[in-house]
Amino acid sequence: MKIDTMRRIDRLVGVPLCLLATGLLRVGRWLRPRPPRPLRRVLFIELSEMGSTILADPAMRKARDGLGAELHFAIFASNAASLDLLETVPAANVFLIRDASLGHLAVDSLRFLRWSRRRRIDTVIDLEPFSRYTSLLSGLSGAARRAGFYRFAHEGLYCGEMLTHKVAYNPQIHIAKNFIALVNALGEPAAMLPHSKTAIADAELALDPITVAPTARAAMLARIRDLAPSFDPIDNRLVLINPNASEFLPQRRWMPDRFAALARRILAADPGAVVLITGAPVEQAEAAALAASIGDLRCHAFAGRTSVAELPALYALAAVMITNDSGPAHFAAVAALPTVVLFGPETPRLYRPLGPGRAIYAGLPCSPCVNAYNQRRTPCTDNICMQAITVDAVFEAVAELLRRPETNRRVPTNLEVAEPGRGRHPDGRPLSARQV
């Protein structure tokens, strides 16, 4: 289902349903008052953004480790692969909502209400700011504790009165800290307004890095060599370019001709560099066209050749990635891959990845033009904020990352798997056992 269709449904149908659900909850509390069950099973709801799932991981681990909670998660089926990367929530505790059509959405919403009660969910944390649909799921889930972002004095953001712990959304701090504030609110008195009044240290935003199995690394290396037979992770530096940003917010895209110019500069500056153009399967044609425009035998279209689950193996072999503000920037953070992330309609103050790297942001007066208060809609049809980012600025950021000693050390020389036909360097000298 298209995002604009979902927004219209959220506005036209969501408002009266939230009003009705608010009345039902009040009547239910009056007819059957009862104390909340002990906090044991916490359900996180985040449906529409794969990158936000990664940014919510510190909050989820705090709920699991700090509160001793069994974690559950509800997400759109099309975005569920991001949860598999983290493995913070057991797969058996994930509820998938199909969003391909309004019928699927309605059926799965009803299934969710039964599932949450069967699971005896006692606490819900709604990670979506001011979404009426997720507010309804939270309010009708059967959970006695419901934490989420509340509008307070902001007009036009009515989502009913579903929350027991009303947290003030703060656009001046990173979204990962906003998510942690939702967890912190559960330990504060319910009557406190607004939640949360607990300080959040920067150290709480750390991600648990993924460990890539040697077999997965070797399989990915073989896949890269299908396109670049001479590629060697010891002698070559793999540079990834992710030029797309999904259809959700096309204003986030840097121009293809600038990605092409950047790739040519990287290849000219480093004779050993290999560039892969990454992306989803639907982006294969665009990646192929971009690679063709670059016109270098060391540049290859790699879109559609990996699943989300296989991305850590690709990132483990890479030295750096350049990407628009999109999900892969956050997936790379889990693999500790240095990234250069280009921001325009949104701000790195809120959405920078939690891994190593650089954010480039022109900071125009009109930017950020999308936020939680306008349902991430913008009237902009001319993304000057992205056009203001120059090839020189991005190239300098890439070069600075590649000069860092930790970047040069991040690709292990020990693949721990013997590879047929790979026993010698290109100059003919034999590899030691450590290097194979």
Q: What's the rounded mean pLDDT across residues 152-169? A: 92
Q: What pLDDT does residue 409 have?
A: 57
191-236 confidence digits (pLDDT tens) = 899 999 999 999 999 998 888 999 999 999 999 999 999 999 988 9
pLDDT at 155 over 80: yes
Domain 3-205 has CATH 3.20.10.10: no
Of the candidates 48, 61, 245, the residue with the CA atom closest to the CA atom of residue 130: 48
Q: Identify the weakest region by mean pLDDT among 23-27, 169-173, 258-262, 409-413.
A: 409-413
Q: What's the rounded mean pLDDT across residues 255-281? A: 96
CA dist., res. 174 & res. 404, Å (int): 26
- With cut-offs at 50, 70 and 90, classify the pLDDT of residue 436: very low
Mean pLDDT of the chain: 89
91-141 confidence digits (pLDDT tens) = 999 999 998 888 999 999 999 999 999 999 999 999 999 999 999 999 999
| pTM reported for the whole predicted model | 0.88
214-409: CATH class: alpha beta
Q: Where in the chain is the domain with CATH 3.40.50.2000?
A: 3-205, 214-409
